Amino acid sequence: MRSRNSQLVLAVASHGGHWVQMRRLMSAFEGLPIHYVSTTAGVAHEVAPFPVSVVRDANLQDKVALVRLALETFWIVARTRPAYVLSTGAAPGFFALMFGKLFGARTIWVDSLANADCMSVSGAKVQPFADLWLTQWPELEISGGPLYRGAVL
């Protein structure tokens, strides 16, 4: 089995707001190697020279696509063997944290800023796989997580 890349950050986000929020967090990882995962190929120029893997977009309404997404994500995690997995959502991030944890990575979930009333579906389900489970709304912080440590502005 391939050994873990001791500093690699696997940064996973669906298109749109999830991607924008992920990009705003990345200065915290300056100086570390980063491998991005997105549902949109057109974002590669934004993060060059870092590599970008593209996965399909899927949700609970299309179970076949969700299974394919899980397999694609598993392959990326197995191939890159990241030390850290970070996601702002949605389904690709859930699977990345789940498989990252399986491979021994430290995992961080930052739930979408758009979810002001409750955690996202993926955000609510990811808790067992998240070493750090965060919400961007102080009203959603509860004992045992998710934790509020500020919003991604």
How many whole angstroms separate alpha carbon 110 and alpha carbon 142?
15
pLDDT at 39 over 70: yes
pLDDT mean over 81-85: 97
pLDDT at 5 over 80: no
Which H or E element spans position 19?
helix 17-25
Higher pLDDT, 44 or 143: 44
Q: Is 1 inside any structural domain?
A: no
The CATH number linked to 69 is 3.40.50.2000
Q: How many domains does the chain have?
A: 1
How many whole angstroms separate alpha carbon 117 and alpha carbon 122?
15
Q: Return the SS3 of 117.
A: coil
Q: Is 126 inside any structural domain?
A: yes
Contacts for 144 with CB less than 8 Å, ≥ 6 apart: none
pLDDT at 15: 93
Going by pLDDT thresholds of 50, 70 and 90, the confidence category of residue 36 is very high
Q: Is 2 inside any structural domain?
A: no
Q: Is 153 inside any structural domain?
A: no
Q: Is 3 inside any structural domain?
A: no
Q: Is 93 inside any structural domain?
A: yes
**HEC per residue, 47-109:** HCCCCEEECCCCCCCCHHHHHHHHHHHHHHHHHHCCCEEEEEECHHHHHHHHHHHHCCCEEEE
pLDDT mean over 11-37: 94
Two tokens, residue 25: 């967090």
Average pLDDT of the chain is 90
Give me the amino acid identity at 144. Answer: G
pLDDT at 153: 56
The domain in which residue 29 lies consists of 9-148
Higher pLDDT, 151 or 70: 70
* Model confidence pLDDT, tens digit, residues 117-133: 767 778 788 999 999 98
Q: Is 34 inside any structural domain?
A: yes
Q: Is 4 inside any structural domain?
A: no
